[in-house]
Chain A
Amino acid sequence: MTLVPKIISLEFTVPRYSYTQDEIFKALGYPRLFSSVYTGAGISKRHFCVPLDKAHDMSWQQQCATYIVEAEDLSVAAVEKCARDGVGKIDRLYYNSCTGFAPGPTIGHLISRRVPTLNGARVVNLSSMGCEAALPGISVAYDYCVAWGKPAMVVNCELCSLTYYPEKPSPDKENDYELLRGNALFADAAVAGIIGFDHNDRHPYILAMKTLTDYSHMNDLGYVWSEGRLRLKLSRSVPDTALLLIQKVVSEVMAEWELEAKSVRFWVVHAAGSKVLDLVESAFLLSKEQLWFSRQTLFRYGNCSSATVGITGKIIMEEGNPHVGDYGVMVNVGPGMTANAMLIKWGS
């Protein structure tokens, strides 16, 4: 008999500083008329690991030095919550992040040193995958579970505040205001999840995964080096391109289990921004309830890059009251442009 891996634990943490959209907009100093881009983003507040006034003035080296300290602490907090139910020893850790650089030892090593469950674990660091990293991370953990019959942990830690790129006095119209738009959305968080085996009906099985990349949109999304630091690339066409990829990849994953959109109760769609969620809702004719927790993620935490879908998953586990037999689809997008979809099911 083949055992099917499940998400047996999922937790997240956010950093200590939090700001409303209005506070962030005022601190960034953009021309007043752009305030609606911030206040109308469907976000109540966002969490950052550095105070706003400090984020303005950091060099790339200072950002990376801060990243190493904060990513370790935030990830350890998420990992300790995730491992608190006595999961036993875990000997594989996948650490994902695209918002900072640790030259070595890696953040994964720093985490495994501090958390007894992970002491001695083989650490695999995945980087530069942007918002899509969560599902490939789960995918390799899934493969490890199937191959070795043992659980693996996945951590996604994104400190987007440490990729802040200063632009003053006016926003960059030439690049279609991409920094202004990015600064209206991104936030910091860490998610830790364990992929493994148990008999708890509250933990969903992973049934199917698909990935799709459209290389013609390679330069629409990601980071570039500019003036000695990372600068966000965020084309305005991203929501429309993302929708096309999401439609294909989700349709494939649902077709594998002969499901229709209305049969999937929980839609864990990467809360990239309200426009992406609106487009997905319309395209799949979803009810407000099906997409509720994705919108709540955006509202409560903003776009936390690769940590975002994990946050939504955790909120569903806590507040969604999933029943045996419920299906969920997790969807995210990132540079490439790449979209991933994963079908999960609660119960046997």
Chain B
Amino acid sequence: MTENQEALSVLKEILFTSYNLNPEEVTPDKAFAEDSEGANLGLDSLDVVELLISLEERYGIEISDEEAEKIATVGDAVEYLCRVLDKR
């Protein structure tokens, strides 16, 4: 499993466990927040924060405010995780 696939798999697992989202719907093009334009996963702002906190706990990382603002889609999150995990 590549790093990309692993990160996507972790996201799918968290989103299924916490928000009962169908893993098949969790695709890189989908935005997290319900107020995003285009296809999204229907999370509110608090859900998105909780998701980021789950990722911090899962990987032992700290997501900065600047980075958090840039993570709007599943693809953004996967790309961010791969980048951060590569540096370790």
Contacts and interface: CB of A to CB of B under 8 A. Distances in A.
The reply to whether chain A is a binding partner of chain B is: yes
Given A36-B48, A37-B49, A181-B46, A278 B35 contact: yes
A274 B46 CA distance: 13
B14 interface: no
Nearest to A31: B53
A197 interface: no
A275 B53 CA distance: 22
Contacts of A32: 65
A296 interface: no
A138 B4 CA distance: 59
A33 B46 contact: no
Interface in A11-41: 31-37, 40-41
B68 interface: yes
Given A33-B53, A278-B35, A177 B46 contact: yes
Interface in A28-80: 31-37, 40-41
Grouping DSSP codes into helix (H, G, I), strand (E, B) and loop, the B interface class, with mixed when no group exceeds half, is helix
Nearest to A34: B49
Contacts, number: 29
A128 to B, nearest CB: 27
Contacts of A40: 35, 45
Interface residues of B, number: 12
A230 B27 CA distance: 44
A35 B66 CA distance: 11
Nearest to B53: A33
Contacts of A35: 65
B29 interface: no
B44 interface: yes
Contacts of A31: 53
Instruction: Report, nearest first, the 8 A-B pairs whose CB atoms are least far apart.
Output: A40-B45, A36-B45, A37-B45, A33-B49, A34-B49, A37-B46, A32-B65, A33-B52
Interface of A: 31-37, 40-41, 177, 180-181, 236, 274-275, 278
12 contacts: A31-B53, A33-B53, A34-B46, A36-B45, A36-B48, A37-B45, A37-B46, A40-B35, A177-B46, A181-B46, A274-B35, A278-B35
